[in-house]
Chain A
Amino acid sequence: MEGAASLSKAMEGFEGGRLVVNIVDTPIKCPIAPLEFCFLSDWWLQKRGLRKKTEIVLATPLDGAFTKPVAARMLGKLLEKKKILVEAEFSTGRVDGAARKLHSWDERELDYDLLVSIPLHGGSSFVESSDGLGDELGFIVVDPNTLQSKAAPNVFAIGDATNVPTSKAGAVAHFQAETLGENIQHFLAGEELEKSFDGHANCFIETGFSKALLLDFNYDVEPLPGKFPLPGIGPMSLLKESRLDHLGKLAFRRLYWRLLLPGRRIPLISAQLKMAGKDTSLLSSTKEGVTG
């Protein structure tokens, strides 16, 4: 929160130059948030008449805009269209604040006028100090489908406390909650646990100018283009900028308070990913290695 408040101040005083958005390492809480920040900065700087005087650079340790190939290609094109430069495979070594330079371990350097740096995410310190409970970053090691800890059967974890290989953002915690609630009851009743969590993540990326795009994916299915939630109809589009997606994001503000927090279901949105409506023709024939 402190960081966000000081960034807001820095943006207010920004008069153009080079804005570097830097992902230090992965995982971060929300893998697409830095892209959204780039898109919104592009829009905000245009509104203020500063875009022509500003170069926006995304410095990322990944080899492209996103971890999965189809989304990386499509989001990469969108970044290009908006003239946002990508400095790929940039593994941040140190920052020289006085000289305003960002250095990578392989001795590249990036000058900046404003640096927005996203640190590596980590778990709670009590996890790190509890032998065998967490991984090397302090995330609780759980079964990716039941969310039960691998260290102790009476421990379950959710959201960004877990090590599961999907986004650590709120939408995932929401979908995980169904599995978690059911499985705690099963555990207490001495029943078998449900292997029902599939890694489902669903997130909007605001791209400015009253547009947004939507991503929907899980452990096995990478983000693909298509229509959501109704196949062929939508009304929202996947992996493609649209005004309706932006309206969807705005509507979500109300849904969050009126449906999500009181524990009601959002119509048509299921905890598990649905393949209907997704265009699988862009998938390469090779299966990606299991990632984490």
Chain B
Amino acid sequence: MTTVTLAGTPVEVDDEGFLQKPEQWTREMGEEMARSAGIEKLTERHWQVIDFMRKTYLDTGAAPSMRALGKTSGVAIKELYELFPKGPAKLAAKIGGIPKPRGCV
């Protein structure tokens, strides 16, 4: 666990930069993390996915898997990959300030 400064505030992150305390997150931090990941501007569609990931995590204690995300976020998998290249579930979780999604076991 290390401490980094995001949008002017020190926060705890894991080795891969995922926030460990979702309550420390702000939308400005999300924007900063998106820029470091190569997404210049977060659009409404990005936020739809990020907000959905975050809400699911805070409600259930677990981030949705890729297919669950494609099925229930209102954004299809193909578009998810256009919005968040490489790994939508992982990147949206990171930008949304929740821990890295892992399978159950």
Q: Which A residues lie at the B interface, using CB under 8 A?
A: 25-27, 31, 61-62, 67-68, 89, 91, 93, 105-106, 120, 135-137, 165-167, 201, 217, 285-286, 288-292
Contacts and interface: CB of A to CB of B under 8 A. Distances in A.
A137 B77 contact: no
**A-B complex: 9 closest residue pairs judged by Cβ atoms:** A292-B62, A289-B99, A26-B103, A165-B104, A67-B103, A290-B61, A286-B1, A291-B102, A105-B81
A291 B62 contact: yes
A166 B100 CA distance: 17
Interface of B: 1, 14, 18, 20, 60-68, 71-72, 77-78, 80-81, 85-87, 90, 98-105
22 contacts: A25-B65, A26-B104, A61-B65, A61-B103, A67-B103, A67-B104, A67-B105, A68-B102, A105-B66, A136-B68, A136-B71, A136-B72, A165-B62, A167-B104, A285-B1, A286-B14, A288-B102, A289-B20, A290-B99, A291-B101, A291-B104, A292-B63
A167 B105 contact: yes
Contact of A27 (B63, B87, B100, B104): B104
Contact of A292 (B67, B100, B104): B104
User: How would you classify the secondary structure of chain A's contact residues: helix, strand, loop or mixed?
Assistant: loop
User: How would you classify the secondary structure of chain B's contact residues: helix, strand, loop or mixed?
Assistant: loop
Contacts of B101: 291
Given A26-B103, A91-B66, 10 more contacts: A61-B66, A67-B103, A89-B87, A120-B65, A165-B62, A166-B104, A217-B105, A288-B102, A289-B102, A292-B62
B61 A105 contact: no
A137 B67 CA distance: 9
Contacts of B65: 25-27, 61, 120
A249 to B, nearest CB: 19
A152 to B, nearest CB: 18
A120 B104 contact: no
B1 A31 contact: no
Contacts of A106: 81, 85-87
Given A286-B1, A288-B102, A136 B64 contact: yes
A41 B85 CA distance: 34
Contact of A289 (B64, B67, B90, B98): B98
